[in-house]
Structure 1
Amino acid sequence: MATPEYIKDLRTQIGHQELFLPAVTAVVLKRTDDDGTELETPEVLLVKRSDDGRWGATAGILEPGEEPAAAAAREVQEETTVLAEPVRVTGVSDHGQVVYPNGDACRFLDIAFELKYRSGEPAPGDDESTAAAWYPVDQLPEPFVEQHRERIRWALDSGAPGQFKD
């Protein structure tokens, strides 16, 4: 996740102290091919992170005043150049603490969304990722962001209510 300017400003005041931040994970699914025929195995849009080389769903931090669903669609377009439409919230969870190499600590409250593919060919849209591609949901590449496996399972269960951790 690229660091938004408002967080950089906060860091000048609080240093490396843990921040609690709202974030989204955007699981873009392709359930049909271009002619509308249902795919035998759905595909998921993934990015390869430039910081650690792991594959995962698109994710990012909300900007102040930004609606979570809009943030999910924005992150997908920025990171993959693909246009996608939010379908539903699939889950809400604590993504866990992250400590960056410079010592900055964050804990993310993650709102996971299922998004429907609309258009575009996957390609890295910014410097946060080195690759973007569709993968069958049963053939995820390695190494992979472990929390995103769960987010993908949530999105695949289209009839399920939102998931919550105990």
Structure 2
Amino acid sequence: MATPDFVLELRKHVGHARLWMPGITAVILRPHNLPEDQTLPTELPEGPLDPTQWDVLVVRRSDNGKWTPVTGIVDPGEEPAVAGIREALEETGINVIPQRLLSTQVVGPVIYANGDDTIYLDLAFSMLVAESSRNTDPWPADGENTECAFVRADQLPPMNERFTEIVRQALENQPAARFHSH
């Protein structure tokens, strides 16, 4: 679903006026070429991740054709990490395990083609592919994306600076979140 029902209901009252929305970015990782006799990890190892040894799940957005990690809006009352789990499954058919908060950042204003004005408080997470999705190929499950793929972390498609930085932070694998101050 491209726009959550609660946002559509809000837009009936405020029109295109600016909305402050909670959002998530999920950097979904899995080991690159893990042997079949080994299970997927349920926790990230300590220290930096070698980009030649990890895959990142990326999606190509249907609205602008750009590659990104999985993103989405947090539903009212929903925990942000749970929103990441939900968005990954809705958008790609992949089950994930949240690992850590990577960063918080204000994104926007974003003005959509229909005139809607939004500013997001984005919470970025690193997540691992769950064993239950080990043999699942990602697919554009809900129409928000035209393509989904696991790509080795050192061979990512072009992404904007914000998403490139968030993926870099996920690979740095530091335990503390980054807080942006402009």
Distance 1:17 1:159, change over 3 A: same
Per the alignment, in what secondary structure is the counterpart of residue 110 of structure 1?
strand
Q: Distance in 2 between matches of 1:95 and 1:73?
A: 21
Which of these residues, 132, 141, 145, is aligned with residue 129 of structure 1? 145
Which of these residues, 138, 154, 158, is aligned with residue 138 of structure 1? 154
Residues 114 and 155, structure 1, Cα contact 8 Å, conserved in 2: yes
- What TM-score, normalized by structure 1, do the two folds share? 0.92
5+ residue gaps, structure 1, are none
Q: Distance in 1 between matches of 2:106 and 2:51?
A: 32
Q: Which has the higher strand share?
A: 1
What does residue 12 of structure 1 align with? 12
Percent identity for Structure 1 against Structure 2: 39
Per-residue deviation, 1:31 = 2.8
Superposition map of 1:12-161 within 5 A: 12-35=12-35, 36=38, 40-118=52-130, 119=133, 120-142=136-158, 144-161=159-176
Per-residue deviation, 1:32 = 4.7
Residues 57 and 148, structure 1, Cα contact 8 Å, conserved in 2: yes
5+ residue gaps, structure 2, are 41-49
Deviations 1:78-107 (A, max 9, x none): 111111110110111112211000100000
Q: Distance in 1 between matches of 2:62 and 2:51?
A: 30
Residues 80 and 132, structure 1, Cα contact 8 Å, conserved in 2: yes
Code of the aligned partner of 1:31: P
Q: Distance in 2 between matches of 1:148 and 1:101?
A: 21
- What TM-score, normalized by structure 2, do the two folds share? 0.85
Q: State the aligned residue count.
A: 165
What does residue 165 of structure 1 align with? 180
Q: Judge which range, 125-134 or 39-48, deviates more.
A: 39-48
Q: Distance in 1 between matches of 2:59 and 2:168?
A: 17
Kindly report the root-mean-square deviation, in angstroms, between the aligned alpha carbons of the 2 structures: 1.8
